[in-house]
């Protein structure tokens, strides 16, 4: 019965760690200004059109 507790705690720690990673990436994504996003999209578009 004790190993079930260990597995449960490990699963809970995994869920918490995943949530922290997602929150960090979301904060990083929202830190861009609209102009920066527009510039990045234009750069990606020109790179994609050069490959064709």
**DSSP assignment string, 1-52:** -HHHHHHHHHHHHHHHHHHHHHHHHHHHHHTS-HHHHHHHHHHHHHHHHHH-
Token pair of 22 as six digits: 């997602």
pLDDT of 32? 86
Q: Return the domain boundaries, the chain.
A: 18-52
pTM: 0.48
- End-to-end distance of the chain based on CA atoms, in angstroms? 60
**Tell me, what's the pLDDT at 15?**
93
Sign of the dihedral defined by the CA atoms of residues 18, 20, 25, 29, in that order: positive
Structure confidence by residue, pLDDT tens digits, 2-52: 889 999 999 999 999 999 999 988 888 888 888 999 999 999 999 999 876
Q: Tokens 């449960």 sit at which residue?
A: 8
Residue 1 has pLDDT above 70, yes or no: no
């Amino acid at each position: 019965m004790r190993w079930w507790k260990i597995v449960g705690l490990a699963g809970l720690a995994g869920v918490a760690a995943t949530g922290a990673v997602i929150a960090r990436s979301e904060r990083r994504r929202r830190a861009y200004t609209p102009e920066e996003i527009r510039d990045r999209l234009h750069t990606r578009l020109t790179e994609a059109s050069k490959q064709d």
